[in-house]
Chains A and B, each alone.
Chain A
């Protein structure tokens, strides 16, 4: 199985700041990577697919980059609603696998 390693596990930031979350695959997955947001009491939300394509409805302050094994989710000018847990997922091959998550907390 393709192992997905996310870092950091926890990240503290303030509104207005920019943050980046890394996701590394154990082998090349081309650009077959998605990013999700998890918030308490809400259904998980797809933010980005194909490494860098914003899903409809995802604010433009979110961006994704990378291909092969190294990927990054960047959030510019954090807003209060962005404090959540973020997961990456590879879908290049079965089984699809997820990163362990990054909890973005308010500093």
Chain B
């Protein structure tokens, strides 16, 4: 059974940093592109970043470029999202997502972790 379990969320002040982790199990992690998707309170889903199966390629939405870094450790089957210079508009539930093997939609989601940016 595919499982994606996020951790590392919490309350953080504007301008500070936070690192999210996603522990994957139930599949060969190193075979799949992975992503982070977020959902601000009372808002819809928003793609944040994607990383290729081997970590060689990364993609970011414009509003997080230069502030967020997606990475992975295939030996540990873990996905990360380093979030620096956090802003209030980054407040959201962050979901770890497995991209379909052949395309760019999510075939499995984690349950999400809440990040609140507030002073």
Contact = CB atoms under 8 A, between A and B. Distances in A.
Interface of A: 32, 34, 36, 42-46, 49, 55, 87, 89, 91, 94-101
Nearest to B106: A46
A60 B9 CA distance: 37
A55 B46 CA distance: 22
A99 B44 contact: yes
B47 interface: yes
The dominant DSSP class at the A interface is loop
Given A43-B108, A101-B45, 11 more contacts: A36-B106, A36-B109, A43-B4, A49-B100, A87-B44, A87-B45, A89-B45, A91-B103, A91-B105, A99-B44, A101-B44
19 contacts: A32-B103, A34-B105, A36-B45, A43-B108, A43-B111, A44-B95, A44-B109, A45-B109, A46-B105, A46-B106, A49-B100, A49-B107, A55-B107, A87-B44, A91-B103, A95-B59, A97-B47, A98-B47, A100-B44
Question: Most chain-A Cβ atoms within 10 A of its Cβ — which of B43, B47, B103, B105?
Answer: B105
Contacts of A45: 109
A71 to B, nearest CB: 13
Nearest to A32: B103
Instruction: Identify the 9 closest CB pairs spanning chains A and B, nearest first.
Output: A34-B105, A91-B104, A44-B109, A98-B45, A100-B44, A43-B109, A96-B47, A91-B105, A43-B111
